[in-house]
Chains A and B, each alone.
Chain A
């Protein structure tokens, strides 16, 4: 019996998945090695971003504010699945906090069993403990690429203009008509930081609100609640401060992006609420003897299987 417990069991499904992941990572590394990270970064991110924004600028009344707003909306729509996944993962983690704490109490002296039970719980609930942060990490390159693209588009120095000239697609004839881009909007020179505190406050404020809506109070764990609260204050403050250093164009992107995030969050909450009410009504009409647990869609599917 003891041997059976110690013998590692390999799940063929998991093995296939692992092999697939490592194969993809290896393929990616080979591509990076062959093509060069700089080329991939430039051709895969900077040039598409830059040309898309210039295209929008050219055909949306040569307004950079309008261009960046539309671009942000498109970008948020593309990354919406990631965002939703992040929010849902964060919520699920919040929801199972009491159960996790219960497990900690129950298996206080048995570390190995605790880990096993936690993994089991995660699997049952369809929760990935790092699922909440991965989407954010995936968005990092997008932010950095966007930052570089905006700096080139709002070229203010010969170096920046040169970067723009090299990255514009050759067939994009409309560029000649719009370079250098009109970078003035209200009191702002979008190529330079906002001299007033307005944009930093807007960036910090919208970021705070978005985080407030996204992160629920932390599941009874005071340490976690403290951490969440610190983050909710520190992040907006940090971004607010760095807005005083970044070009106003990038700050504008953050504001628009945050506002769209807030709207998405609100819409999602509404949807979940309505969905929850509908499910509650359905379960109220069903016979109680079945004793079904109110899983989400994914869990329901798993339960059936």
Chain B
């Protein structure tokens, strides 16, 4: 009987080929993860409400105005579908259909700012976009030299915002011209939105300082070192500026001098999300998944930290006398102001990294999957009223 043909002996080349193929797979995987460095970061969905409309900037690069009751879009920019795609998104997942005359936005992180007739949205492409609130038409844009991460704060017809180009800008909404002779320069990125009062603009920078600038001229009035970067928004209330720092503390600064009135002990995680000040107390979350409450007057704890499931990037919203906060694990918690007890809890699909918006008895949250969820809480249990996109 004829012997089978000679079988090739296991040779050095075979395992080598395996390694080669595995290396190809590795580089493809790595390249697939983040081509072009940060180009793949789609941002997170941010929501704001006004009257019966929910405005949202989605991770698909679209901006929508939704009917708060039924979640149907009144307008959408740019004109295209926003069907979510499960899993990781690739750049071509962005809505840039042929019928669009306008390009989609790059990643958005700041909550849209609502004025009488405009919707202001900031983007990592370095632009401040102004949309007509009624029609969604892009009215104008302002280009900074680098990404704009935080929201714009509008006061007396002027939009104040910071940029990764280290500057703080003041733009006249009518003329889109710089109000200050030159934008104010800090030593690092400005990611948080400024707080503004009649005289001053308060803003935190990643250069570890909180700044107070003259609102009219943009000149420095004071600056205070808070021992760590300030990635989030500063809050303003009753003569006190509150700033969270990556040194895991919340700082309370005197509005006139910048002196540290008090600061918290070091917490379990970075304080990034904006603080909510209400009725003599300040409430905020930390990145290690804890909600904190302190007295504005003396910095004493109101209640022990409440631990939730998932990191807290964003700050809480006030909802029917309770704190409403979303977590990275997709949980939404309602926490009693008085004692810190969790009175209601819900969950959506996808991380919630922005502050929830509320309108009447409904909470609206945006997720990193590019969805907006409308939730109602009945006896401590959440009920989803609608989701956008619906499929």
Contact = CB atoms under 8 A, between A and B. Distances in A.
A247 B38 CA distance: 9
A246 B3 contact: no
B247 interface: yes
Contacts, number: 158
A148 to B, nearest CB: 8
A242 B27 contact: yes
Interface stretch (A8-16, A52-60, A72-80, A156-164): A156-164
Interface string A212-239: 0000001101011001100100110011
B270 A165 contact: yes
A180 B189 contact: yes
A34 interface: no
Interface in A221-266: 221, 223-224, 227-228, 231, 234-235, 238-239, 242, 245-247
B228 interface: yes
Interface residues of B, number: 62
B38 A176 contact: no
Interface string B261-300: 0000010111010000000000000011000000000000
Nearest to A148: B33
Nearest to A105: B6
A245 B35 CA distance: 5
A136 interface: yes
Contacts of B266: 173
Contacts of B208: 177
Interface stretch (A38-46, A96-104, A280-288): A96-104
A137 interface: yes
Interface string B21-56: 011101101110111111001011000000000000
B206 A180 contact: yes
A151 interface: yes
A128 to B, nearest CB: 9
Interface string B1-30: 001101101111111111110111011011
A137 B16 CA distance: 11
Nearest to B232: A158
B245 interface: yes
A234 B212 CA distance: 56
Given A110-B3, A111-B4, A157-B124, A132 B15 contact: yes
A133 B4 contact: no
Contact of B31 (A157, A235, A245): A245
B228 A179 contact: yes
Interface of A: 90, 93-94, 97, 100, 103-104, 108-111, 114-115, 118, 129-130, 132-133, 136-137, 140, 143-144, 147, 151, 156-162, 165-166, 170, 173, 175-177, 179-180, 191-193, 218-219, 221, 223-224, 227-228, 231, 234-235, 238-239, 242, 245-247
Given A136-B19, A238-B27, 19 more contacts: A93-B12, A94-B12, A114-B7, A137-B19, A137-B22, A147-B30, A157-B124, A158-B43, A158-B109, A158-B149, A165-B287, A166-B288, A173-B266, A177-B227, A177-B228, A179-B206, A180-B189, A224-B11, A227-B17
